[in-house]
Every structure is written in structure tokens, then in C-alpha cells.
Chain A
Amino acid sequence: MGKKNKKLSKRQLQQNMFLSFIMLIIAVIILIAGIFLIRGVTTPGEESSSEEQSQVIQIPEIGDNSGEIEDSAQQVNGNPVPAEDSREESSAREESSQEESSQEESSQEESSEESSSQAESSEESSEAGNWQTVTDDYFADAAFVGNSLTEGLFFYTDIGDIADGYYSTGLNVLNAQTDAFVDGAYTLNDVLLANNYSKIYVMMGLNEVGWPSPESFVNEYEKMLQQIESDCPNAIIYVQSILPVSAARSAQGDSINNANILSFNEQIRQMAERNDWVYLDVWSAIANENGELDADATPDGIHFGTFYMEKWLDYLRTHAVSE
């Protein structure tokens, strides 16, 4: 009896020890699982975000800003590096881009298809003279220069697959002549000298309509374009009009209004005429029947998206001159 009791208590002791061990293991597992649950999804951004919010950011000069923006633009649009090899690579790229572009063209909207289907040399009459309707191949040796509106043209349409774009938000006719806004390292002069463009499309002016007079703007614009002409003496210089703003933006009370824009455009047209540059009234492609940018097309009364960018590009397709 006593022996039996002794044996029983030993087994109970073993069982108790085993159960205690199991409980300990389970507690450790729960503890570890709890730690992982609390840590949750790893989001290193949270820490960095708070750091970033308190970060003091240096404000560089306007030119540097332009360069930084243009830096990314150039990665999209082409090869601005002034080198002979880069020109050959650029040509090859453009050729392949043209093929791709032609294929993509077939699926574009009806107006684009109509433009593409016509031969490059086909001519159509217009009030301004004998314009040619061209395929996108026409832009393969073209460069576009401008401010944030030109940036939009390259972001919202496929023109960046074909042509090169040199643009920057806030670009004006002064800093465009001096600042290294291309890849943060090259001036407009550098890249134009390094690339044998046959057409240069320029649109400036919206950032300058607040200047004291259209004349002071046109003087600088003329100097800028004469330098472009000097860099690319065989290129056709297309000078595009400033585009309209919305009625609300126009009525805001500052210098950015449609009356001012029309005044500047007239000065631009006269400047183009006396220098034998081609003036393109792109304003007419974007303005509605009231001479304004449609209000629902724009978040700020000035910039717009794909639909109007395509209208702009279609205007360029149907308003080319002989090479």
C-alpha cells in the first residue's frame, strides 16, 4: 500500500513537471507571437516621413530648379548629351520610336488617324498660308522648348517618343538663355549645338505676361530665338503663341488674363514675321468660342491634360511647313 502510494506520487510529480514545461513553452510561443503581432507590417516610411516633415530644405536658384526638373524630363525625352555618339544613338532610337509610334498611331482617336493616314507632303490650304499635314515622323528631328505647358505636352502625349523636349516648370525667356536646366548640367545652347535639329518648336510667354510691357518680353524672346537660330542655322523655327487661360483665371485680377495674352501674342506674331520664323497660332486650337480655356479642363485655369494636349499636337501635325 505504502509502496503503491509512493509510486503514484512519483508519477504525479513527473506529470506535473511535464505539464509545467509544456505551459512554459506555450507561454514563450504566445509571447513571441505577441511581439510579432505588435510590430505588425514594416513601414520604414513612417519614421522617415516624420523626419522629412521636420527637414529644412535649401532653396537653390531658379536655374538649378529648372535643371532638376529637366533632369527627369530628359530621361524621358531623349539624349541631350552633347556628343557625336549620342547623336547616332539618338537617331537609331528615333527610328525605332517612329516605328512604334506609327503602330500606336493606328489605335489613336479618329482625328489622329486622319492626320497620320495622309502623306507627309500632302498640302492643305489655311488662312495663314499653305500648311502641310504631316505624320509624326516629321517630328523625329525636332526639339521642343518651353515651360510647364510643353512639359505637359511631353507627359500627356506620345511626342516624347519621337522628339526631344527641353522644358522646365517656371522657365522664362531670361533663365532659358542662361541656366543649365538640361540634366542640371547643360544650357539650351549646349544641347542645340550638339544636336542637328531640323525643326525647333518654342513656346514661351505665360510666365512673362506679368512683365511691365510686352515689348520688354519680346526683346528678350527675340534674343533667345536668334541664339537658337544661330545654334541651328538650318532649322525651321516655329514660334508658338501663348495659350488661353480659363475665364475664372483671367478674372482673378492679376496680369495672367486673356486680354494680356492676346496682346503678347500679337507682339510674338510680329516678331516672328520680321525674323522669317513660322508663327503658330496654337491659341486657336485650345480656346473655346469665348476665347478661353474650358474651365473643366484645368485645375488652375492654366494647365490642362490629355484631351487638350492632343488638340495642341493635332494642330502641330496640320500646321507644318516645307523643310
Chain B
Amino acid sequence: MKKIALILCSLMLIMCSACSSQQPAAHDLDMTDLAEKLKTSGAFEQNISSTMEPIRADRAIDMFGASQEDVKDAVYYTCVGATAAEILIFECTDEEAAQRVYDLADPHLENLQTTYESYAPEEAKKVENAVKELYGRYVIVVVSSNADTVQSVIAEATA
């Protein structure tokens, strides 16, 4: 009886330790699909969402100031010059690289804000409510006119 109890206890402890070390794994994201969902979510004015276009991934990486080595792929939608609104999604090589890219979000948004403060102040306000998320190997930055909608779309995609 004692032996059975010991075996059961050991099994329980193993299960227990396995549970405690297991992080909620981030699943892969379809970045283009997420960008399209964000674009059409209503978080952007109609004239902006209808004219937002994808920019080449390497341009997005350089524009953001990230290292090409840290980023596997990127999706970047914007209307250059017309608005501060943008959708940026980076798939990084690993979680450490993602953290490095995520850390660039603040300086990027500050640059964006200062640019539009003098050029189009109403656009600068959007930058104040920018959404930035770190999800596993992914970094998501969205400047829109409705941060709540953006967050709910991202939450659904990362659930």
C-alpha cells in the first residue's frame, strides 16, 4: 500500500512540476490575415482603410529601425504622408529578438508623433493611443482612431 501511495505521489509531483513549467504557448499568426482584419475592423476611417497599401517587408524593418536578422517577415500597411495610421506586424526569429523589436516601438511612435504634431496635429493624437503587443515571436503595433477595436481584434487572433 505504501509503495502504491509513493508511486502515486511521485506521479502527482511530476504532473505538478510539468504544469508549473508550462507557459501558455503562442501559436503562429497569419500576419496578412490579421492585418486585413485590422484594416477592415472599423478602427480606421473609411478613406484611410480603403487606401492603405502594403509596403515591402524590408522597408518596414528598416523604417522601424529593426535588424533584418531579428525579423523573419513583416507586414506593414499605411498611407505614406497622408496619415499616421499604420499596421505593423513583425514575425521575429525568436522571443528574444521579438523583445528587441518590441523595444523599438516607443522610439518609433515618438518619431511619428513629433512628425505629425506640426504637420497634421489631428493625426498625432492617434499616435497617443497606439496599440503595441508582444505575442511570442510577434510584435504588433497599430496606430488607429480606435484602440479598443484594435485590441479586441488582436485578442481574438491571439486567443
- A79-87, A187-195, A293-301 - the one binding chain B: A293-301
* Given A33-B19, A45-B133, CB of A303 within 8 Å of CB of B81: yes
Contact with B along A60-87 (1 / 0, CB 8 A): 1010111011011101100000000000
Chain B 68-114 residues near chain A, CB threshold 8 A: 79-83, 102, 106, 109-111, 113-114
The reply to whether B81 and A28 contact each other, CB–CB distance below 8 Å, is no
Residues in chain A near residue B43, CB distance under 8 A: none
The reply to whether B19 and A36 contact each other, CB–CB distance below 8 Å, is yes
Chain A 24-42 residues near chain B, CB threshold 8 A: 25-26, 28-29, 32-33, 36, 39-42
Place the interface of chain A in its size category: 35 or more
Chain B, residue nearest A11 (CB): B1
Chain B interface residue count, CB cutoff 8 Å, equals 56
* Given A45-B102, A69-B115, A152-B80, CB of A299 within 8 Å of CB of B19: no
Residues in chain A near residue B130, CB distance under 8 A: 49, 52
The reply to whether B16 and A52 contact each other, CB–CB distance below 8 Å, is no
Residues in chain B near residue A28, CB distance under 8 A: 16
Is A128 among interface residues, defined by CB-CB distance under 8 A? Answer: no
Chain B 26-64 residues near chain A, CB threshold 8 A: 26, 45, 47-48, 50-53, 55, 58-59, 62-64
Report Cα–Cα, A49/B26, bound state, in Å: 20
Chain B 7-29 residues near chain A, CB threshold 8 A: 8-9, 12, 15-16, 19-20, 22-24, 26
Residues in chain B near residue A298, CB distance under 8 A: 51, 82
Min CB gap B67→A, angstroms: 11
Is A43 among interface residues, defined by CB-CB distance under 8 A? Answer: yes
Is A1 among interface residues, defined by CB-CB distance under 8 A? Answer: no
Residues in chain A near residue B19, CB distance under 8 A: 29, 32-33, 36
Query: Which single member of A25, A75, A305 contacts B62 (CB below 8 Å)?
Result: A75
Residues in chain B near residue A300, CB distance under 8 A: 47, 79, 82-83
The reply to whether B131 and A45 contact each other, CB–CB distance below 8 Å, is yes
Chain A, residue nearest B47 (CB): A299
| Other contacts beyond A32-B20, A148-B82: 4, CB < 8 A | A58-B114, A68-B114, A76-B63, A299-B48
List 23 A-B residue pairs with CB atoms under 8 Å apart, sorted by A's residue number: A18-B5, A22-B8, A36-B22, A41-B159, A48-B106, A49-B132, A52-B132, A57-B128, A62-B118, A64-B114, A65-B119, A72-B64, A75-B65, A149-B81, A298-B51, A299-B47, A299-B48, A299-B51, A299-B83, A300-B47, A300-B79, A303-B81, A305-B51
A-B residue pairs, 5 tightest by C-beta? A148-B81, A303-B82, A75-B62, A45-B133, A68-B111
Residues of A within 8 A of B (CB): 14, 18, 21-22, 25-26, 28-29, 32-33, 36, 39-46, 48-49, 52-53, 55, 57-60, 62, 64-66, 68-69, 71-73, 75-76, 147-149, 151-152, 155-156, 160, 169-170, 296-300, 302-306
